[in-house]
Amino acid sequence: MTTVTRRNVLKGGAAVVGGMAGILATGRAPAYAQATTVHWLRWTDFVPASDQLLRNEIAKEGEKALGIKLNIETINANDIQARVTSAIQSGSGPDVVCVLNNWGQLYGESVADVSDLAEALGKSQGGFYETSRAVANDGKKWIAVPWCIVGLQIAYRKSWFAEIGYTDGKFPQTWEEYREAGKKLKAKGRPIGQTLGHTFGDAPAFAYPYLWSWGGKEVEADGKTVVLNSPATVESVKFMVAFWKDAHDEGGLAWDDSNNNRAFLSGTCSATLNGASIYIEALRKPDTYKTEAGGQLKDDILHAALPKGPGGQFSYHVPFSNLLMGYSKNQDAAKKFLGWIHSKDVYDKWFVSQKGFSVGPTTDWEKHKLWGDDPIMLPYKQAARTGRFAGYQGPSTRKAAEVVTKYIIIDMYAKAVQGMPAEDAVKWAEAELKKVYV
Amino acid sequence: MAISAVSATTLREAPPPRRQRLLEDERWLAFVLLVPTIALLGMFIAYPFIRGILLSVTNSRVGMPGDFVGLANFYKIFNDGIFRTSVYNTFLYTGVTTVFKLALGLWLAMLLNRNFRGKAFTRAFILLPFIIPTVLSTFAWKWMFDPTFSVLNWLLYHFGLITGRINWLGDPDLAMISIIVVNIWRGVPFFAISLLAGLQTISPELNEAAAIDGAKPWQRFWHITWPLLLPVTMVVVLFSVIQTFADFQIVYVMTGGGPANATHLFATYAYQIGIGTGLLSEGAAISLAMFPVLFLVVIIQLLYIRRVEVR
């Protein structure tokens, strides 16, 4: 048994006082107390298995391989911007933040330059998709490392569309056809489910490509001249008003990104633009989600791209990218971690856990054997190739990000659906855009 | 006599140390005792307030300190349609909810002031909406008003009161009504319990005497209860107006300011612009636009309370 003497206590006390003085002088914890921790803030994934994988396996492997402790924090995607803003303003917070859309452009001055890492990643994995580059590069440098792209396709009920003539997995090819199909389905109590609410994913992913497909656009290629108020945009708004009334679940004006999942899985809507999370959930619980005939819902789901308009056929898939925060005191460790987690072997595990919900940020991931596993997921495989991004025809700059976060394009359609004349809704949106693009 | 003389001599010869003298000075002591409060108020009220003002006159964005731009942000927001909608919404939301909270709260307080079995339990039960964390209870309301799975719609449909679905949160007017309902539900207990406390300070003898003189219940309320309850009522209304005017949680959770900005209030719009979009100075300007209104409300009400008390 060790005897605690007064002398020992005094010695220990002196050591502590001396140590504290050292810590205060250097502003750092002593070496023996430091376990380099990288704090990674992410959204709560719509594929829960991926979050479990990150926490239970990848974090442990990272600690072993890099000697870095990984602190993964997941929050509601809607709250990420608030967290980033407060972290930047206070100069402390997560070392790495995984942001959606082109939000990274809002924080360009407050993040570390990760060009070396991003360039190397792009070169070694087949090159980035345009979407990945648009949101993570400010034209001069890489402000984020592209992480993935969540493909958005229309999930639809195969049997219900077959009942109205779209047999053998066919799907309406134009907006007119989609409206007619939706009209028939709504008459049967099976409307199309689409959000025009203030949501980060499904609403912009529907409203932007819809606008482009009619020939409308936010700005010219110079990224400054607002050209929204065009006959094409007005036509798109007029069509939307009728389309909404004829074919949609009108509650969609208040839907968030999870409402359509619930509506589809409960058999309340027949088609909805979404990531593959509906299908993945139906796969996960085949005996929970059933069709009205008693079959498994997973066998009655197919995916299709958004229809064509007079201006062409477009899509908007939601990219994710990792910001290495400028205030981080662990930049070297965080960079090491980002390089490691993007390496093919490590990223592969996470990619597989997504089951196709996300595609990689680079084209190499299209070659993955995962795409041979399930033909229902095949439309997601190359979806990222057709994606344009917010701010089109200009670059996806901070101003374009501001337009996204103010929901201006979405609200233009929502206002018209609520009764504002199409011309007035477009004028309103144009005026809002001009305030941003001054 | 001898002792007194000695003491007087001792006092004259050895004056108390300076620190002791300062503590015996009432004005100085009062200042010392007030210092912690002043420090706290300075840190948590004055500093953020001044910081907000300084921020609102710059073009600061997240991560960028910005330059002085004078009143440009205020000019910008006063020309912003969404801001004007937010102003209208905030006044409507505060006005309607305050009237209902006062009326229902007073009615409840009068009921709770009576003697009945289970009085204590009922009083505690009434407080529930006020006790439950706002975000939690608002999520429950959100589910009740859900555009697709609304339990309210289900009930109304099954009672034969509606044939189609009511789009509670998707229709601009109904969305506003929905958030007003939730605010009233949450605020009524505060009014009820505070007014009940006020009612209990009124001597029952006054009412009894009036009743003997032939005053009817309504007359007794109007000429005895209401005037005596007025100071408490004014304080409760003051607190409620300030809280409701700056309300954030209910709207943020229920509608996020939608559909198409139809339910934005000052606070939610300031949050979207300042925190969401990172336009800190504009967000600060929106927040500060609330200040003159609230300041005026506080001044008028405090003056009124003082007049009532003096009377």
End of a domain among A380, A395, A418? A380
Q: Which residue of B has its CA nearest to A405?
A: B277
More confident position, A410 or A2: A410
Q: Is B76 on the interface with A (CB under 8 A)?
A: yes
Q: 0.90 exceeded by the pTM?
A: no
pLDDT at B77: 92
pLDDT at A8: 54
Q: Are A337 and A66 in contact (CB under 8 A)?
A: yes
pLDDT at A347: 96
pLDDT at A15 over 60: no
Residues A207 and A137 in one domain: no
pLDDT at B17: 72
Taking the CA atoms of A264, B261, A136 and B62 in sequence, report the sign of the dihedral they define: negative
Which residues on A lie below 8 Å from B277 (Cβ)?
81, 106, 402, 405-406
**Residue A168 resides in a domain:** yes
Residue with tokens 């009576």: B114
Taking the CA atoms of B5, B10, B12 and B13 in sequence, report the sign of the dihedral they define: positive
Q: Half-sphere exposure of A274 toward its Cβ, with a 13 Å CA cutoff?
A: 32
3-class SS string, chain A:
CCCCCHHHHHHHHHHHHHHHHHHHHHCCCCHHHCCCEEEEEEECCCCHHHHHHHHHHHHHHHHHHHCCEEEEEEECHHHHHHHHHHHHHHCCCCCEEEEECCHHHHHHHHECCCHHHHHHHHHHCCCECHHHHHHHECCCCECCEEEEEECCEEEEEHHHHHHCCCCCCCCCCEHHHHHHHHHHHHHCCCCECCCCCCCCCHHHHHHHHHHHHCCCCCECCCCCCECCCCHHHHHHHHHHHHHHHHHECHHHHHCCCCHHHHHHHCCCCCEEEECCHHHHHHHHCCCCCECCCCCEHHHHEEEECCCEECCECCECCEEEEEEEECCCCCHHHHHHHHHHHCCHHHHHHHHHHCCCCEECCEHHHHHCHHHHCCHHHHHHHCHHHHECCCCCCCCCCHHHHHHHHCCHHHHHHHHHHCCCCHHHHHHHHHHHHHHHCC
Which residues on B lie below 8 Å from A250 (Cβ)?
147, 167, 170
CATH number at residue A61: 3.40.190.10
Which residues on B lie below 8 Å from A270 (Cβ)?
none
- Opening angle at CA A167, ends A162 and A168, nearest 5: 130
Cα A342–chain centre separation: 18
pLDDT at A1: 41
**Residue A20 resides in a domain:** no
**Residue A73 resides in a domain:** yes
- Residues A300-318, mean pLDDT to the nearest whole number: 95
pLDDT at A4 over 80: no
Say how far apart CA B193 and CA A156 lie, in whole Å: 53
Residues A50 and A185 in one domain: no
Residues A225 and A143 in one domain: no
Q: Is B48 on the interface with A (CB under 8 A)?
A: no
| Average pLDDT score, chain B | 88
Q: pLDDT band at A18, cuts 50/70/90?
A: very low
- Residues A166-172, mean pLDDT to the nearest whole number: 92
List the domain range (segments joined by +) for residue A341.
Answer: 37-150+318-380
Residue with tokens 């108390």: B16
Q: Which residue of B has its CA nearest to A432?
A: B80
**Residue A106 resides in a domain:** yes
Residues A211 and A340 in one domain: no
Residues A212 and A333 in one domain: no
**Residue A29 resides in a domain:** no
**Residue A13 resides in a domain:** no
| Residues 166-195, chain B, touching A (beta carbon < 8 A) | 167-172, 175
Best CA proximity match to A212, nearest among A388, A402, A6 = A388
Residues A47 and A96 in one domain: yes
Q: pLDDT band at B2, cuts 50/70/90?
A: very low
Count of CB atoms situated within 10 Å of the CB of B78:
13
pLDDT at A2: 44
As a whole-number percent, the residues of chain A with pLDDT over 70 amount to 92
Within chain A, what is the greatest distance between any pair of CA atoms?
A: 91
Indicate the DSSP class of residue B17: P
Q: pLDDT band at B217, cuts 50/70/90?
A: confident
Do residue A253 and residue B271 have CB atoms under 8 angstroms apart?
no
Do residue B278 and residue A415 have CB atoms under 8 angstroms apart?
no
- Residues B147-155, mean pLDDT to the nearest whole number: 88
**Residue A311 resides in a domain:** yes
- Opening angle at CA B263, ends A98 and A431, nearest 5: 75
| Average pLDDT score, chain A | 91
Do residue A197 and residue B259 have CB atoms under 8 angstroms apart?
yes
Residues A66 and A115 in one domain: yes
Which residues on B lie below 8 Å from A78 (Cβ)?
256
| Helix-helix angle A408-417:A422-436, to 10 degrees | 160
Within chain B, what is the greatest distance between any pair of CA atoms?
A: 102
Say how far apart CA A9 and CA A27 lie, in whole Å: 26
Residues A163 and A268 in one domain: yes
Q: Are A357 and A343 in contact (CB under 8 A)?
A: no
pLDDT at A230 over 60: yes
Do residue B62 and residue A268 have CB atoms under 8 angstroms apart?
no
pLDDT at B12: 57
pLDDT at A5 over 80: no
Residues A267 and A174 in one domain: yes
More confident position, B117 or A290: A290
Say how far apart CA B9 and CA B3 lie, in whole Å: 10
Residues A182 and A289 in one domain: yes
Residues 6 or more apart whose Cβ sits within 8 Å of residue B8 = none
Look up the CATH architecture of domain B81-310: Orthogonal Bundle (1.10)
In sequence order, what are the beta bridge partners of A192? A248, A271
Q: Half-sphere exposure of B74 toward its Cβ, with a 13 Å CA cutoff?
A: 14
Residue with tokens 């924080």: A107
Q: Which residue of B has its CA nearest to A268?
A: B148
Do residue A254 and residue B149 have CB atoms under 8 angstroms apart?
no
Best CA proximity match to A111, nearest among B277, B62, B192 = B62
B278: left (phi over 0), alpha (psi -120 to 50) or beta: left
Domain ranges of chain B: 23-57, 81-310
Write out pLDDT tens, residues A343-394: 999 999 999 999 999 999 999 999 999 999 999 999 999 888 888 899 999 9
Q: Which of A25-29, B68-72, B253-257, B286-290 has the lowest mean pLDDT?
A: A25-29
More confident position, B11 or A300: A300
pLDDT at A220 over 90: yes
Residues A245 and A165 in one domain: yes
The domain total for chain A is: 2
ipTM over the 0.90 cut-off: no
pLDDT at A17 over 70: no
B215: left (phi over 0), alpha (psi -120 to 50) or beta: beta
Do residue B170 and residue A253 have CB atoms under 8 angstroms apart?
yes
Q: Which residue of B has its CA nearest to A412?
A: B260
pLDDT at A13 over 70: no
pLDDT at B164: 82
**Residue A145 resides in a domain:** yes
Residues A259 and A270 in one domain: yes
CA distance, residue A431 to nearest chain B CA (Å): 10
Write out pLDDT tens, residues B78-89: 989 999 999 999
Produce one character per residue of A164-200: b if its CB has 16 or more CB atoms within 10 Å, e if not. Answer: bebeeeebbeebeebbbbbbbbbeeebbbbbbbbbbb
pLDDT at A248 over 60: yes
